[in-house]
Amino acid sequence: MRDERNASFAADAYAKFTGRVGVCDATVGPGAILLPAGLGEAYNSSVPVLAIIADIPSTWQTREEYGNASQGFDQIPMFKTITKWQAKIEHPENLPRVVRHAFRVATSERPGPVLLDIPHDVFDTDFDFKEEQLYVEEEFSGYPSLRVAPDPSKISEAIKLLSEAERPVIVAGGGVHISGAYEELLQLAEHLVIPVATTITGKGSIPETHPLSLGVVGLNGRGHANKLVSEADLIFFIGCKTGQFATFNWTLPGEDAKIIHMDVDAKEMGRNFRTDVKIPCDVKLGLKMLNDALKEKVEKRKLEDSEVVERIKKAYQEWWSTVEEKVNSDASPMKPQRLVKEISEFLGEDDIFVSDAAYQAGWSACYLTLKRSGRTYITNRGLAGIGYGLPAAIGVQVAARDKHVIAITGDGSFGYTVGEMETCIRHNLPVTLIIFNNQCFGWIKWAQKLFYCDKCISVDFTETDFVRIAEGYGWKGMRVERPDEVKDALKEAKESGKPTLIDARIDFFEAPVIPYAEEAKKRGIC
């Protein structure tokens, strides 16, 4: 990678996609300073990444202050709040044991990043390691490494509430992906005929073409998902931290709804809502035990022609009627809703979709439809730093050489990572990168327009020829301005077998954050 920040993003995406530990490294000082963006993302998203940073020689103690030793400073404190564990390697013979411990910490309980700080004199020392010392236990090379089973009494309490509920809804978060609990989640939903909404990070926990799928809920969610969650008399949070976006600023679910919460981290239960049943455990194990007990205690309900499915269809149609015009708009510049629809229709079941953190994540969360469950949608809602799209696509493409990786980014976000285009050429990574080009930092500009008297400062860009930039790096470059050009461009990119940039011109006057869109509509902006 050309930049340490991008390396940390690539390691995070690699770990999310593969279920194995991602690794990144950085030089002392200014290199190490660039890692927190990706490590903070991994920490907040419970993703195991091993970060290795160099340090000034251990014999230079007291010389790190104010750069007395070139590039030196006390590095480890900077990482304490965004890594699970940190260690400084004082002697080379400690490396095998400490590395094994780092993998254990990163992958166990609630997964997360860890840090090894290695001074230059240790790095530069020859040491005759015995071959049998150089290993990591297989169970700790992936995550979750050790699965914790639930308390059977809590499973019984959950079954009682689920059986009594009239309008239950499941909200599935990123923990479903981490645990790989796809079959178990679907089995539960179908047995009791319960609608399933997901967080953005949990998107793909259930096929979004399934009749019980509500899609994403919350600030960037679908209107009918928010409606049914708000009307539910019971919410079952599964692998979900009940964060700001998924709960619409902690206003969903309704105050009278009962809550069951299953998560590997007991600290998440009751953090934001009164919770009736708390089930700390591995999600896959917990749902399996729940499903096994349900088979014995509760008769399986009929999915076909059920009242629940009809209620979902009705709520969906009500929401769709409010967005259909823009989703199907032929306008140029394109409506971002329509652009995502075109990408969604092109996307194959085995293609991998990567979204940057800015407005692109909002549009794709709501309007991209995933046809199967699994980690086919990668984004960074943990810390939500822009500039994630291209380096994350690199991390995924390295792990999946035989897959078509499609990434979306903004023109603002792309400016953070343009140098990694050369990385793709050097390593023969044929990613397809679509720039949602509205010639501004869209999220910030919208906030300024709505909340700062329409005074827009430092958000608008000059015209940039991204196609020529792409070609200069050896990529294929295309520009699309109309919806009917999108699928042809994607097909051409996929068949070319080389990295491809598609500059897609979109309408700025659209906002995927629901409160922004509602406020803009009141003011007649869009």
User: Can you give the three-state secondary structure of 483-510, one letter per residue?
Assistant: HHHHHHHHHHHHHHCCCEEEEEEECCCC
Note down the domain range covering 126: 4-140
Instruction: Tell me which of 140, 172, 193 is where a domain ends.
Output: 140
pLDDT of res. 127: 86
pLDDT of res. 132: 84
pTM above 0.85, yes or no: yes
Q: Are 305 and 349 contained in the same domain?
A: no
Rounded Cα gap, residues 408 and 361, in angstroms = 9
Instruction: Tell me which of 140, 175, 210 is where a domain ends.
Output: 140
pLDDT of res. 129: 87
CATH number at residue 235: 3.40.50.1220
Give the tens place of pLDDT for each residue, 436-460.
Answer: 999 899 888 888 988 888 888 999 9
Position 322 in a domain = no
Q: Are 242 and 386 contained in the same domain?
A: no
Position 323 in a domain = no
* Contact status, residue 60 vs residue 69, Cβ threshold 8 Å: yes
* Contact status, residue 263 vs residue 241, Cβ threshold 8 Å: yes
Give the tens place of pLDDT for each residue, 302-315.
Answer: 998 899 999 999 99
Low-confidence ranges of the chain (pLDDT < 70): 526
Question: What domain count does the chain have?
Answer: 3
CATH number at residue 389: 3.40.50.970
For residue 333, whether the previous peptide bond is cis, meaning omega lies within 30 degrees of 0, is yes
Q: Are 307 and 171 contained in the same domain?
A: yes
pLDDT of res. 33: 98
Q: Are 51 and 131 contained in the same domain?
A: yes
pLDDT of res. 526: 61
Rounded Cα gap, residues 308 and 242, in angstroms = 24
